[in-house]
């Protein structure tokens, strides 16, 4: 059954996020000694804004920027910029410079838990009011076994009011939306109380919940998110490429179409919490396949900083295991080899294609040809169509447009950057890909 669609701000149709993890990006964490506010490190991000525009991005998605002790997800003061990054004036400067370039700004809000230096928690530990926290048998509940992340009690109306006020505060300072960290661990009823009150003052704000598993559509309907992180698709993209099993991707895109009946997911092939796509795929040539999928299907795409230049990095399940995927950045294009430059150009080209076809935001896909090693699908919205052909075999893959129900098509993108040409028959190179527009 087709559900009534959740509305989202009009500007989201056109946004392509470039995601940054600020504490790592500017070398503020891990760092010994940590930088101080008078180093104004968050201003280093301003030096990369022209690069983001050059890439084709139209939004900057920031990881945590609020006061914390370590990685940013142990917030100690939601109203204060992390002193390792700078101060309020530095944040205002970043917002101003981003908006001058037409870049939207997304903040990362941690409202499931707080750090152990959070003032109300310190007071509670010292015998004060414990009502803001989940206490079981005299013990403060934490987030997924992390002693430094203290779980809030989302049934407390004061916690609701606090979250509303924090969100409004930073939207009033120029943010355009919020990523809601660990939204899956928070009752949907909490967001259903919070978000309408924030939207009442900021109707053009966008809210995306971090949800890993489960019924994404149900969360959207119950909580009122505009979007949810599409982890199912992320997994299917890299594993179908590695396993030469495009049936998995095809099945997941069927699910993806169903999500689009309710909301437009946040789509990605990399972020600050997962192994980088260049390290995740077994064959370096397949990084571009993953990118081609990301930018030719429905969704609100996000590119994790460094992935556009084929940065490598493996996430490990240990203390400090995220550091490899959250490195410090020097200057744009610094140390990027030939493969990285090629991947950057592919990003530019495919992002440009995406921006020329904004209807892809809500496009549904339909399989035209599926084997283990080859996949051809159509992305459609109304009268608009793109044909995408992916090949992970060691041999070229012929594509007959007439057999797929088309006449001729123009090749607009592909591995090896084929010149624009109108064809009735196409050949996808071994481990190559093509994007065609039917005529």
CATH number at residue 400: 2.60.40.1180
- CA gap 353, 360 in Å, rounded: 10
Domain assignment present for residue 5? The answer is no
Q: Are 116 and 176 contained in the same domain?
A: yes
Q: What is the mean pLDDT of residues 187-197?
A: 98
Decide if pLDDT at 5 tops 60: no
Q: Are 49 and 133 contained in the same domain?
A: yes
Decide if pLDDT at 418 tops 80: no
Q: What is the pLDDT of residue 416?
A: 76
CA distances to 279, 285, 298, 303, 392 from 282, rounded to whole Å, are 7, 9, 26, 20, 11
Domain assignment present for residue 130? The answer is yes
Q: What is the pLDDT of residue 379?
A: 98
Q: Are 300 and 424 contained in the same domain?
A: no
Q: Are 289 and 397 contained in the same domain?
A: no
Q: Are strands 66-68 and 142-143 parallel, antiparallel or unpaired?
A: unpaired
Q: Are 295 and 407 contained in the same domain?
A: no
Q: What is the pLDDT of residue 420?
A: 77
pLDDT in tens, 298-332: 999 999 999 999 999 999 989 889 999 999 999 99
Q: Are 285 and 270 contained in the same domain?
A: yes
Of the residues 362, 388, 422, which one is the last residue of a structural domain? 362
Decide if pLDDT at 287 tops 60: yes
Q: What is the pLDDT of residue 4?
A: 47
Of the residues 302, 333, 362, which one is the last residue of a structural domain? 362
Token pair recorded at residue 215: 């019924």
What is the percent of the chain where pLDDT is above 90?
Answer: 95
User: What does DSSP assign to residue 80?
Assistant: E
Q: What is the pLDDT of residue 20?
A: 98
Per-residue confidence band for 417, with pLDDT thresholds at 50, 70 and 90:
low
pLDDT in tens, 57-106: 999 999 999 999 999 999 999 999 999 999 999 999 999 999 999 999 99
Decide if pLDDT at 289 tops 50: yes
What is the percent of the chain where pLDDT is above 70?
Answer: 98
Give the angle subtended at the CA of 192 by the CAs of 187 and 195, to the nearest 5°. Answer: 120
Q: Are 416 and 350 contained in the same domain?
A: no
Domain assignment present for residue 4? The answer is no
Q: Are strands 75-81 and 17-20 parallel, antiparallel or unpaired?
A: unpaired
- CA gap 271, 252 in Å, rounded: 20
pTM above 0.95, yes or no: yes
Per-residue confidence band for 1, with pLDDT thresholds at 50, 70 and 90:
very low
Domain assignment present for residue 386? The answer is yes
Of the residues 331, 362, 393, which one is the last residue of a structural domain? 362
Q: What is the mean pLDDT of residues 395-411?
A: 96
Domain assignment present for residue 69? The answer is yes
Domain assignment present for residue 3? The answer is no
Q: Are 272 and 398 contained in the same domain?
A: no
Domain assignment present for residue 76? The answer is yes
Burial class (CB in 10 A: 0-12, 13-18, 19+), 157: exposed
Contacts of 169 (CB under 8 A, 6+ apart): 79
- CA dihedral (106, 230, 280, 415) in degrees, to 10, reads -90
Q: Are 142 and 198 contained in the same domain?
A: yes
Q: Are 254 and 339 contained in the same domain?
A: yes
Q: What is the pLDDT of residue 319?
A: 87
Domain assignment present for residue 2? The answer is no
pLDDT in tens, 291-307: 999 999 999 999 999 99
pLDDT in tens, 27-39: 999 999 999 999 9
Decide if pLDDT at 3 tops 60: no
Q: Are 63 and 168 contained in the same domain?
A: yes
Its domain, for residue 414, covers 365-438
Q: Are 254 and 384 contained in the same domain?
A: no
CATH number at residue 94: 3.20.20.80
For all residues of the chain together, what is the average pLDDT? 96
Query: How many domains are there within the chain?
Result: 2
């Amino acid at each position: 059954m087709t559900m009534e669609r959740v509305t989202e701000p009009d500007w989201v149709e056109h946004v392509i996020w470039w995601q940054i993890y600020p504490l790592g990006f500017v070398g503020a964490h891990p760092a010994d000694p940590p930088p101080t506010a008078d180093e104004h490190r968050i201003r280093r991000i301003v030096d990369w804004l022209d690069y983001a525009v050059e890439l084709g991005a139209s939004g900057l998605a920031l990881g945590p920027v609020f006061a914390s002790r370590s990685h940013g997800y142990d917030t100690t003061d939601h109203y204060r910029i992390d002193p390792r990054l700078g101060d309020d004036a530095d944040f205002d400067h970043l917002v101003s410079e981003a908006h001058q370039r037409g870049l939207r700004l997304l903040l990362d809000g941690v409202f499931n838990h707080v750090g152990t230096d959070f003032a109300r928690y310190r007071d509670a530990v010292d015998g004060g009011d414990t009502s803001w926290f989940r206490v079981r048998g005299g013990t403060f509940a934490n987030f997924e076994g992390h002693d430094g992340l203290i779980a809030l009690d989302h049934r407390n109306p004061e916690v609701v009011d606090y979250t509303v006020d924090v969100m409004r505060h930073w939207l009033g300072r120029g943010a355009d939306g919020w990523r809601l960290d660990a939204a899956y661990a928070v009752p949907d009823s909490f967001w259903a109380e919070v978000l309408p009150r924030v939207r009442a003052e900021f109707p053009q704000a966008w809210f995306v919940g971090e949800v890993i598993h489960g019924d994404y559509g149900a969360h959207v309907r119950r909580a009122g998110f505009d979007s949810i992180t599409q982890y199912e698709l992320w997994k299917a993209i890299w594993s179908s490429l590695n396993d030469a099993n495009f049936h998995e991707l095809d099945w997941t895109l069927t699910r993806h179409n169903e999500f689009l009946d309710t909301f437009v997911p946040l789509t990605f092939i990399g972020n600050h919490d997962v192994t980088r796509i260049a390290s995740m795929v077994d064959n370096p040539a397949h990084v571009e396949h993953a990118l081609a999928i990301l930018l030719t299907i429905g969704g609100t795409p996000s590119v994790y900083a460094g992935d556009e230049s084929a940065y490598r990095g493996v996430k490990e399940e240990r203390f400090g295991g995220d550091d490899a995927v959250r490195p410090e950045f020097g200057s744009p294009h610094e140390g990027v080899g030939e493969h990285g430059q090629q991947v950057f150009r592919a990003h530019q080209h495919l992002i440009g294609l995406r921006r020329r076809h904004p209807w892809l935001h809500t496009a549904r896909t339909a399989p035209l040809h599926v084997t283990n090693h080859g996949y051809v699908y159509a992305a459609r919205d109304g009268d608009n169509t793109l044909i995408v052909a992916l090949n992970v075999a060691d041999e070229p893959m012929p594509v007959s447009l007439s057999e797929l129900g088309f006449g001729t098509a123009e090749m607009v993108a592909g591995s090896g950057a084929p010149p624009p040409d109108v064809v009735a028959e196409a050949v996808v190179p071994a481990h190559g890909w093509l994007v065609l527009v039917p005529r």
